[in-house]
Structure formats: structure tokens, C-alpha cells
Amino acid sequence: MTMSSRVIAIVAASLLLGGTAFAQTMAPATPAPASKMAPAAKAEKPRTAASLECSKEADAKGLHGKERKKFRSECKAKAAKPN
């Protein structure tokens, strides 16, 4: 093998193996401004004992969606009324 062909082989190998070292990486994602955060990220109010009990009853009955919301609303209203 001649000297020039060795140099060409070394340069070719360097380009193939070194290409990933010089590859550009993606820019880091910037966090979204606080005003555009999802509503779920807001601080939640602590749930009352009546609310938790009504949720357990709704779970036991297997209620979902509008029926669950209506049941819990009525249940909490009953719990709020003095006997």
C-alpha cells in the first residue's frame, strides 16, 4: 500500500467515524410561560369529608360523567343541610 492510499483510507475512516461527534444537537426546549400552563397545574382546594364520602358512594354505584356529577352535587347538598 502506498503512502497516499493510506492517507486517503485514514481520512475516509475519520470522516465516517467522526461525523457523529460533530453532529448538531437539538436546542433545549424552553418551558412554557406560566400563563399558558394547563388548568390542572393550579393549586387545588382540599376536599371536604362530605365530598370524599359522596365520591366513594358514586364509585360504589359505578357512576360516571353527568350522572356522577349530578349525584355528587345532590349528595353534597344533602350533607350541607342541617338535620
Q: What is the pTM of this model?
A: 0.46
Is residue 54 within 8 A of residue 79, CB to CB? The reply is: yes
Looking at residue 46, what DSSP letter applies? P
What pLDDT, on a 0 to 100 scale, did the predictor assign at position 54?
Answer: 93
Contacts 24+ apart (CB under 8 A), 15-24: none
CB atoms within 10 A of CB 54: 22
Distance separating alpha carbons of residues 60 and 54, to the nearest angstrom: 10
Q: Tens of pLDDT along 63-81?
A: 999 999 999 999 999 988 8
